Copies of this chain bind each other. A is one copy, B any other.
Amino acid sequence: MILIDMRSSKPLYEQIKESIRSQMVHGALRPGDKLPSVRELAQSAAINPNTIQKAYRDLEAEGLIYTVPGKGCFVAETSANAKENRKQELLKAIRPLWTELRYLGVADEELVRHMKGGKNDDD
């Protein structure tokens, strides 16, 4: 299931990508699983099929899913390579935020503690 926030400034296809990535990360989608078809997902989420297409295309370019023409899209084996790339990307993104929080007087332990509770609000 994919939750979309129409009022977010984040592009729809980015929200879709993140939603799928998130499901893969949490284990709701496992290697070999079939993703919903473009038309199916488009209808259930009331989104233009072109937008879904773009999300799937991007994910395939990242190596996270693969397409079998006439069959559908499937979750790819997560290569150690892709995992490491993603990890570096996240670390790079998290550092400046962390730095500014420190300057705002948030101690590392407080931050860690804060991260252990609360729900995961995206954008």
The reply to whether B121 and A68 contact each other, CB–CB distance below 8 Å, is no
CB of A68, distance to nearest CB on chain B (Å): 6
Which of the four size classes fits the interface of chain A? 35 or more
User: Interface SS of chain A: helix, strand, loop or mixed?
Assistant: helix
Contact flags A75-91 to B (C-beta < 8 A → 1, else 0): 00000000100110011
Q: How far is the CA of A95 from the CA of B21 in the complex (A)?
A: 15
Q: How far is the CA of A93 from the CA of B10 in the complex (A)?
A: 13
By a beta-carbon cutoff of 8 Å, the part of chain A in contact with chain B is 6-7, 9, 11, 21-22, 25-26, 61, 66-69, 71, 83, 86-87, 90-101, 103-104, 106, 108, 111-112, 114-116, 118, 120-122
